[in-house]
Chain A
Amino acid sequence: MNKTTNIMIVGVGGQGTLLASKTLGKLLVSEGYDVKVSEVHGMSQRGGSVVTYVRFGEKVYSPIIDKGGADFIVSFEKLEAARWLEYLKPDGQLITNLQETDPMPVITGAMQYPENLIEKMEATGAKVDAIDALSLAEEAGTSKAVNLVLMGRLSKYFDISEDAWMKAIESSVPSKFLELNKKAFQLGRA
């Protein structure tokens, strides 16, 4: 069976996960891979838990990733990293934003936001790369650039030129916000 690399992008609806997967998809096609990206639209986008699958390799069949199948999980929010951890391969890499966004059961007081999630995830043996992407995005100029900070961090794990990443960003991001997004990417990659 051919080797396929599996990346999951998870977060909270409205955080910009779709732009991240769009950028990643364009990059990987330009690198000559067969690529499938599976997204979620509609109701789940309204502040719910969202997941996008990106798969690439010589030939990709399924558009989705199963439990234990992800080489990388990029999480836009800490609780979402914990929720989807089960999808990580035993030797997979988790990249997570440290940002906390309370879900409705926590807001209504029915549940608590779990504590020490990074430590607990590391205790399972998972490789965790935690990053304060919100602060870096705000340093770049807007809290909305969290997605590009995280793409920047993900880029460190791939042998793909920074130039190719920049081209993919240029073709996905409106020109008005291009410089800001490039800066966010570089802060994440640093």
Chain B
Amino acid sequence: MKELMLGNAAVARGLYEAGCEVVSSYPGTPSTEITEEVAKYDEIYSEWAPNEKVAVEVAFGASVAGKRSFAAMKHVGLNVAADPVFTMSYTGVTGGLVIAVADDAAMHSSQNEQDSRHYAKAAKIPMLEPSDSAEALAFTKLAYELSEKYDTPVFLKMCTRVSHSQSVVETGERVVPETSAYEKNIQKYVMLPANARGRHPKVEQRTLDLIQWAETADINRVEMGDTSLGIITASTSYQYAKEVFGDKASVLKLGMAWPLPVEKIKDFASEVDRLVVLEELDPFIEEHCKSIGVEVEGKNIFSLLGEFSQNLVAEKLGQPITEGKKLDEVIPMRPPAMCPGCPHRGLFYALKENNCNVMGDIGCYTLGAAAPLSSMDACLCMGASVSGLHGFNKALGAEGEKKTVGVIGDSTFMHSGMTGLANIAYNQSNSTLIILDNSITGMTGHQQNPTTGLNIKGEPAGKIDLEALCKAMGINRVAVVDPYDLSACDKAVKEELAAEEPSVIISRRPCVLLKSVKTQPALKVNTDKCIGCQSCMSIGCPSISFKGGMAVIDHTTCVGCGVCQQLCPVDAIER
């Protein structure tokens, strides 16, 4: 059946059809929907793991047990999972094992734009790279064949424009390969030095074998057109090249990012007058071409930064581009902001009022860095708020400890905040960590996590008690506040910063966008009372604007949280 499918959903469909049986992932834009879609297939066991390293290790265990398994993550998630991944390259697999990694060129929702293809080369693991949903489905299935045939994990490299674009796919039936009973294989799977030394030569031979496969594989496809220009390309860049040139150029479309073919590239180069490599981010294919003695143009023309488009490709390669008429007007930017009723807002207001230094973390609350709250000093990666807070305080002593906090979400704390807190408890910095517990993984669109008490399918599951956990880790002072209560937030922040020992504040209220949260009717400004002081606007709620000398509340977006009411000196905001 033909249907329009999101690239991520097509990967999930590929997993279903390939007979994958165990899926473990941690959410991360733009990879999240793969696992959300998998969860809709009851034939596949799926779960949200606390982090990507755990997810990959779960997939490893399932593979050792003989089943086809899978883990998905965003590009920076692969950094977290890198430790098991590099050694899984040595162990290889029993059941096929595929790891999807989704890059985010242009950083739509990420903290860097690293190019994951380097991991394939560094870990010596083959990587397939689809360019639309149909290939996402087909390459997922192919990845399992390669995984089992060559005894290797296989990467499936996605990117924002493949993951989050819908295109037409043709679906097929699910076929689960037959598996034999589990047998121990200590030399293959116990990576003691002696065994690992035995595995490494197999890895090197495997890469040579895969290069041979790459020479003839039909996913590395030559589309001959006009031979005055030859373009070597992959992923979404292939689509831009075809959009601009059609058959007015020849294209070598590489479906496997690693290992790359040698003879196929040399043959293609010999057929065309001018040869250009078109790839987003790093010159990965370009450097390979140069290393095999093929002269190409690439990053001398195209940027190392951001995403490409058909206009960009056309312009850089001397083709006409379309242009539109720009309005001669300064258009205010519209950056993302905390939602109306967001439980993070009240807590951040307390941090702003107390002029805190804030070591931040990854999640919706990173938006606390934006005006008017402007309450974040650093944000690096998952978990760095906790460990960074400790380092900051060790460096500055009381000067830091009395005004510095770390902020981290419930899911991010489970992901990699706990080890940082263990360090605070063990090495005793007088640190104040705030866990922003909104009872969900928010930014990626509401995924369950170990603190929510529900599993990926929304069924009852194990639930970690954050207060008990922090106490068990050696934190004696654990306070819980409702972030809708501004004075309680202010009191807790003041008290815990003053305390002469490590402490944790849990700011607890579920994300206002959760279906289970009942919102209140919109609030109104009593125009007879409003004095236009704009106190209510200091919290940066998108529902409040200032018109005609008075505050105005947008009734279509206000959820009646009441935080602004607490700031009004004349009680002009009414239910």
Interface residues in chain A, defined as those with a beta carbon under 8 Å from any beta carbon in chain B: 1, 12-14, 25-26, 29, 34-49, 60-64, 66-70, 79-80, 82-83, 85-90, 101-114, 117, 120-121, 124-126, 134, 143
Bound-state Cα–Cα, A70 to B324, Å: 9
Nearest chain B CB to A165 CB, angstrom units? 16
User: Once the chains are docked, how many angstroms separate the CA of A54 from the CA of B33?
Assistant: 20
A138 to chain B, nearest CB (A): 9
Q: How far does the Cβ of B81 sit from chain A's closest Cβ, in whole Å?
A: 20
**A44 near B371: Cβ-Cβ < 8 Å:** no
Q: List B281-335 residues whose CB lies under 8 Å from chain A.
A: 309-312, 321-335
Asked if A62 contacts B371 (CB within 8 A), the reply is no
A62 to B241, CA, bound (A): 9
- Residues of B near A86 (CB, < 8 A) are 324-327
B residues in contact with A69, CB < 8 Å: 310-311, 322, 324
Say whether B499 faces chain A, with CB atoms less than 8 Å apart: no
**CB nearest to B310 among chain A residues:** A62
Is residue B239 contacting chain A, with contact meaning CB distance below 8 A? yes
- Whether B574 sits at the interface, judged by CB under 8 Å, is no
Q: How large is the interface on B (under 10, 10 to 19, 20 to 34, 35 or more residues)?
A: 35 or more
Interface: B445 (CB within 8 A): yes
Residues in B whose Cβ lies below 8 Å from that of A45: 336, 445
B168–A67 contact, CB under 8 A?
A: no
| Cα separation A96 to B420 with both chains bound (whole Å) | 49
Report the bound CA distance from A81 to B335 in whole Å.
16
Q: Is A38 a contact partner of B161 (Cβ separation < 8 A)? A: yes
A-B contact pairs, 16 of them (CB 8 A): A37-B166, A38-B164, A46-B339, A46-B364, A61-B240, A63-B236, A69-B310, A86-B325, A87-B324, A89-B322, A89-B324, A104-B334, A104-B371, A107-B546, A114-B329, A121-B327
Query: Which of chain A's residues have a CB closer than 8 A to the CB of B164?
Result: 38-41
Point out the residues of chain B lying under 8 angstroms from A35, CB to CB: 4, 166-168
- Interface set of B (CB-CB < 8 Å, partner A): 2-4, 6, 29-30, 32-33, 108-109, 132, 161, 164-168, 236, 239-240, 242-243, 246, 309-312, 321-339, 364, 366-367, 370-372, 443-445, 534, 537, 540-542, 544-546, 554, 556-557
Q: Is the CB of B339 within 8 A of A1?
A: no
Please give, as numbers and ranges, the residues of chain A lying within 8 Å of B324 by CB-CB distance: 67-70, 85-90
Contact present for A63 and B168 (CB under 8 Å): no
Q: A38 with B165: in contact, given A46-B336, A61-B242, A63-B239 (CB under 8 Å)? A: yes
Q: A49 near B334 (CB under 8 angstroms)?
A: yes
Question: What A residues does B338 contact at CB under 8 A?
Answer: 46-47
Taken together as a complex, chains A and B put the C-alpha atoms of A12 and B334 apart, in Å, by 8
Q: Please tell me if the beta carbons of A67 and B166 are within 8 angstroms of each other in the complex.
A: no
